[in-house]
Every structure is written in structure tokens, then in C-alpha cells.
Amino acid sequence: MAREAKTIATNKKAYHDYFVDETFEAGIVLTGTEVKSLRENKTNLRDSFATVRRGEVWLHGVHISPYSHGNRSNVQADRERKLLLRKAEIRYLIGKTKERGYTLVPLKVYLSPSNLVKIELGLCRGKKLYDKRDAIAERDHKRDVERALKERTRE
């Protein structure tokens, strides 16, 4: 029986603000109390991003609340955290992020089947205002069609 990954948090705003071109799975360097806090779903990915510095990928703006039963071993909630990727992936991301318009955005934090905390990073391009409006209109249209089909099958 295969275990599935347990999603801890998703960045819904990222899908609204960006086109996601590629995704990468990355490990994250955490302390013990941060992992316990993540298991309690005490995290926020809104307005977070990742940067590449000196051949390492760093995560900024992710808020992991202090562990409720922690003591002085709790760390600062908004600190930078190092991400763990393969060297070839990091080189690829360095090239892509130097291109105009690309940014690294965390899309999801989850526990892998082996109980490791992983982050799904997206290589994203920003949406313009009219792109966002088109996406909202398309979603509304799809919802209306689904509703009409559902009412049609009831009769």
C-alpha cells in the first residue's frame, strides 16, 4: 500500500498572479520545532519567493509560526531557509531566473511519503491584469457550464 504525500499549505495566490511554466521538488533545511509546527499546519506561503545566491537556493517570506509547545529552541518565524536541489537543477534555475520575467515561487509545502518536508517550487512568469481577468472569466464560465450540466442531469 503506497502512502501519499500530505499537503501542508498551498500558495493559491501564486496561481492567480503567475503562469507556472515548470515545477521542481526541493527539500528544505529546518529545525525540529519548525517541522513540528508544520505538522500542525502553521505556515503561510503568501508573498514568498526563492532566490539563487552563490550556487544555493534560499526561500524568503515563508512564515512558519513558532511551535506551540516549544521553548527557547523556537526560531524566528520569517527567517530565510535554504532549499536543497541537485546541482544541475540549480544551474538551470540560475540561467532561467536571469532571463527577464522569471521568478521562483513556492507553490506547495507537503510531507513526502517518507515523512520529509518538501517544497514544490514553480518557475513562473508574471500575469498582466488582463490575463488575470481572463482567468477569472474562464473559471466563472466553467462553473456555469458545470452547474447547468448538473441541473440537466437532475431532471
> What CATH number is associated with residue 72?
2.40.280.10
Residue 123 lies in a domain: yes
Residue 133 lies in a domain: no
Report the 10 Å Cβ neighbour count for 29: 12
What residues make up the domain containing 79?
6-127
Mean pLDDT, rounded, for 99-128 = 86
Predicted confidence at residue 2, as pLDDT, reads 61
> How far is Cα 9 from Cα 75, in angstroms, rounded to an integer?
20
Predicted confidence at residue 121, as pLDDT, reads 92
Model pLDDT for residues 67-96, shown as the tens digit of each residue: 877 777 677 777 888 999 899 988 888 888
- What share of the chain in percent tops pLDDT 70? 97
> How far is Cα 119 from Cα 72, in angstroms, rounded to an integer?
26
| Per-residue DSSP letter, 100 | T
Mean pLDDT, rounded, for 19-40 = 85
* Residue 38 binned pLDDT confidence (cut-offs 50, 70, 90): confident
Total domains in the fold of the chain: 1
pTM (2 d.p.): 0.75
Residue 48 lies in a domain: yes
Residue 149 lies in a domain: no
